[in-house]
Structure 1
């Protein structure tokens, strides 16, 4: 940056030296007559040389400033992306995805404008004003002292401009984030929007956001139009008229060299160009400041480092919850005194109505949240003392709504893990019963899958998701209602595969289909955040309690209506 400033000063100095050279030419022509051309030619050559230096300096200065700005923003964008990986999961639960995308893409780009436009303009303008006022003092001290009143006046105008336009720009950036969030949500749920004929309502909501952004942009432009070129041009014209009057009056009293008059008017006119340049970039600067506030608000959030877990020892898989209590919001406990133990090779099933706390138990085990009371241990070690990467290295998870990334089948199973070979990928797909349909695809294991896997059926996506979990050979396997969207035939395939893959592993299953957990070693029945029953299938059926009634309800037996009523009233 120091080199850029030196080049900048040379370029500006070369540019500002022009009027002095022209003044000298005029004065020599008036004093020595038209016959002395040699000195004039030397001065013209010097002027041309200065112009070439100014051109080279401007190019170098612009290149250095912009390349530096691009480097800064590239690093900022990467720092933001890395920090997002460290932020707790609850931030993403409460923040629309589109807003986060807007922070990384749009807001960092706006910060780039601060360096590439405003900073370059501000530095150039400052050096130009410094040189101009130096020249003015050399030409006429009294008038130069009067011109010193201009910078404070323009600074006051800029302050008023910034004060009134900042609020408008903040609303504009907020609406842009809201629009991005809405676009992202609309695309993700487009089938629902069209199925329920919500197209017009969605457009109206988007139009409302767009109209609000437009209205604030118009207000901001109105402030800009009143306080930028308009007022600077008016003040510039008045000051120029005053200077002409001053020199005209002085010419009646004393003789004034015409070169001095020309140079002073030229430099005076140059004062207003850098001021206008700064005004023109104020909007970019304010947009950058507002965007920077949003970016640094994320960067300032507490997060945990993504640590290297390559040397993490594979656990036996003994999972223990000891009197665990947890609340997403203070005072609203979703888990109350949860205690259970799952040993290696055991399958533990969690059942209960929606909101009973099943998924919360899994979220705590995966380290997405921290318990308010109690402890969770793996092989006797409290997971609170482990890094998240070490904790999750030997865990596999399959969700109810499987997500496939854009890429081929084998990538979606291995996720480019170098330790998973193509043979292991094929073996995992075979174990879960997915190999037959994958091999029938046109490109087989190299078949491209669009984002979210929309070209495959729900059952096929779920099978690939199962294969992904198995390929990583987890010590602890978590199935979060993983069979909810699978047909009976596919369910049978997965049930057979699970008997093989769960051997030697600790498996925790959240299930709504009670038929899928009949072989579980232990079934925990949750109700309002508490374990109200526990045991295997036969033991719970013999108790005739909540699990018995839930099973009857799903099997459609005669007592189902009464069971449903009892469960509802419980």
Structure 2
């Protein structure tokens, strides 16, 4: 499914809110477009209308007294009230003249020696006329003033109505945008729980975070600003063209030349802008990844005096991001306001040429004013569309990146439950590789009985961690089977399996919160008594009692405020509270001090009791009591047996053990 279609699908999740917003927007735009029509009516009917024929009538509300007689405009007089021939008032510049001989309104006007002269189409018309004083002019305008005020009040009312609907449109559209992005972020974050662990092997955390935060923020602008501007501008343009055709269809046809120009520009702009925006979003993600890596590794960077190198690498990314930003800026600057300015002036030149050449025929002052006003208004939405094209392309590029993440193949989180494992684990002819053609495990077979402790030993790259990854179903083998209690793990829900499995890593990961909350992470419903009992069993009672708040001590990100030993004690207690049937200890005591290790070793017996335990260890002295020791080398099993059996065999294990003990082999 294309990015555009998926963006529309997300918009449809708030379709009623958006439709309400767009309906209010349509009402607001329609109200705003009445302005030029009201201005045209006021000019033609009430200001220029003074030049319409006047008739002598009886005194009345619309009658004007002049030279002892009352005159009423033709628009306000009934045929039965007419007395005599019509008279006319003509305007030349700022002066007004009274004549009893009506003259054509079209043509060049002049007044000299009591004679009014009109030249139109080669013909000359003359009539005797009298200049009117300011007070007399105001008297002839007096019937129009209340009507003009009524029109202005109507316009003010429309402005208030439009502002109310504008407010509603803005509120509901932004509300819908926030809700859509909320759903999208939930979906993206949920997708992170669905995708396999191998996805994170090749994706820096900063890039993933950028997709969830920065890219979704760019999409928010699509729904909140771009959509509003495009829809508003579309209604404006359609409404303006309707108004133009009502005013004068010939001038409206001339203005239609704008549409193909805009369409051509839109296609050209998208062709170049799409590529620039994709590069900008990609570079932005790389910057986030570099910053995330630098922040997390700052102690190492400073320890090895690599600040200049790190800064140079970051500056290179920043410079590449800046370069594409400038390219997009040039494209926007060259084509946005420049284009509308040129096209707008071309339209006005064409309009002036058409009118001055007489092609357009007679146009009233009100029609001309309204037409110029609408043309000016026409370029406001055009500018808005052009200015929002950059945001549109950014949103499309961001949407593509977000949906690429959501398109990753994953497995739905399954909340189903299965009975607690007895703990029998069997690997049968398991073959596995992270990359095609690079096997990590080569036909591996072994069995662990319930309650056994199985130690995995071998040099780096021998396959120890890969066995654990397969056991937890972070990955699945290409061939062979892994079974627990005789059931192929591929037929079980990974989440249901992991509910009965626990792991303690060499570098435990702690989350923000208290120590107690971290211990109860695998079982949030654990009671305080259960948490304290787990701490006691792993030997951490006295260690945590020294802290100011004890188990309620706040833990910062990754537990950086705690020592390595304290973090490992939390990790052991967390595994114990979770009460797993299968437990994995991955070099769990290799990075802590001897004193803490002695404390933990005493608690390990409590931790391993009635559990099938897998221990990855480099210090062989810690696994002498294991029920089974498996010696691995490049994905194959070299030896298998107890500590005494392997020493007696005198093979690889014996060689490694004696070397560690400092004894001659």
TM-score normalised by the chain length of structure 2: 0.82
- Structure 1: distance between partners of 2:317 and 2:332: 23
Does 2:100 match 1:83?
no
Does 2:27 match 1:10?
yes
Paired residues for 1:94-243 under 5 Å:
94-243=202-351
More displaced stretch, 280-289 vs 235-244? 235-244
Cross-structure match for 1:509: 615
- Structure 2: distance between partners of 1:459 and 1:418: 23
CA deviations over 1:419-443 (Å, ceiling 9, x no partner): 3111111111111111111011111
Cα offset for 1:504?
1.1
Does 2:324 match 1:307?
no
In the alignment, is the contact (CA less than 8 A) between 1:428 and 1:467 conserved in 2? Answer: yes
SS at match of 1:508: strand
Match of 2:438 among 329, 332, 335: 332
CA deviations over 1:83-103 (Å, ceiling 9, x no partner): 110000000011000000000
Cα offset for 1:449?
1.5
- Any unmatched runs of 5+ in structure 2? 1-17, 51-139
- Structure 2: distance between partners of 1:149 and 1:404: 65
Match of 1:380 among 481, 486, 491: 486
- Structure 1: distance between partners of 2:426 and 2:308: 52
More displaced stretch, 45-54 vs 91-100? 45-54
Match of 1:24 among 25, 41, 52: 41
Does 2:418 match 1:401?
no
CA deviations over 1:486-536 (Å, ceiling 9, x no partner): 222322222221223212110110100100000000100001100110000
- Structure 2: distance between partners of 1:374 and 1:491: 37
CA deviations over 1:8-38 (Å, ceiling 9, x no partner): 2221111111111111111112224523223
Q: Of Structure 1 and Structure 2, which has the larger fraction of its residues in strand?
A: 2
- Structure 1: distance between partners of 2:619 and 2:648: 19
Match of 1:443 among 524, 531, 549: 549
Cα offset for 1:159?
1.5
Cα offset for 1:296?
0.4
Cross-structure match for 1:270: 377
- Structure 2: distance between partners of 1:318 and 1:499: 19
SS at match of 2:445: strand
- Structure 2: distance between partners of 1:503 and 1:223: 69
Cα offset for 1:255?
4.2
- Structure 2: distance between partners of 1:524 and 1:417: 32
CA deviations over 1:276-299 (Å, ceiling 9, x no partner): 001111111111100000000111
- Structure 2: distance between partners of 1:542 and 1:417: 44
Cross-structure match for 1:469: 575
- Any unmatched runs of 5+ in structure 1? 560-570
Cα offset for 1:457?
1.7
Paired residues for 1:483-502 under 5 Å:
483-502=589-608
- Structure 2: distance between partners of 1:9 and 1:438: 65
SS at match of 2:33: helix
Cα offset for 1:256?
2.8
User: Bigger relative contact order, structure 1 or 2, given CA contacts below 8 A and separation 6+?
Assistant: 1
More displaced stretch, 71-80 vs 22-31? 22-31
- Structure 2: distance between partners of 1:3 and 1:329: 52
Paired residues for 1:422-461 under 5 Å:
422-461=528-567
Does 2:437 match 1:419?
no
Q: Of Structure 1 and Structure 2, which has the larger fraction of its residues in helix?
A: 1
Match of 1:65 among 173, 178, 185: 173
CA deviations over 1:265-284 (Å, ceiling 9, x no partner): 11111111101001111111
SS at match of 2:358: helix
Does 2:657 match 1:551?
yes
Cross-structure match for 1:562: none
User: Structure 1 residues 4 and 452 mapped into 2: Cα distance closer, same or farther (>3 Å)?
Assistant: closer
Cα offset for 1:305?
1.1
CA deviations over 1:162-207 (Å, ceiling 9, x no partner): 2112222211111110010011111111111011100010000000
CA deviations over 1:315-334 (Å, ceiling 9, x no partner): 11111111111111112110
More displaced stretch, 190-199 vs 449-458? 449-458
Cα offset for 1:219?
1.0
- Structure 1: distance between partners of 2:522 and 2:438: 41
In the alignment, is the contact (CA less than 8 A) between 1:250 and 1:256 conserved in 2? Answer: no
Cα offset for 1:243?
1.0
Cross-structure match for 2:584: 478
- Structure 1: distance between partners of 2:331 and 2:392: 15
- Structure 2: distance between partners of 1:521 and 1:514: 14
More displaced stretch, 261-270 vs 160-169? 160-169
Cα offset for 1:107?
0.4
- Structure 1: distance between partners of 2:42 and 2:242: 20
- Structure 2: distance between partners of 1:404 and 1:239: 67
More displaced stretch, 390-399 vs 483-492? 483-492
CA deviations over 1:358-400 (Å, ceiling 9, x no partner): 0000000001000111111111111100111111001110011
- Structure 1: distance between partners of 2:161 and 2:593: 76
| Structure of greater Rg | 2
- Structure 2: distance between partners of 1:480 and 1:414: 20
- Structure 2: distance between partners of 1:233 and 1:456: 64
- Structure 2: distance between partners of 1:129 and 1:549: 85
Cross-structure match for 2:81: none
- Structure 2: distance between partners of 1:127 and 1:515: 79
- Structure 1: distance between partners of 2:49 and 2:606: 106
- Structure 2: distance between partners of 1:349 and 1:258: 97
In the alignment, is the contact (CA less than 8 A) between 2:21 and 2:173 conserved in 1? Answer: yes
- Structure 2: distance between partners of 1:465 and 1:255: 90
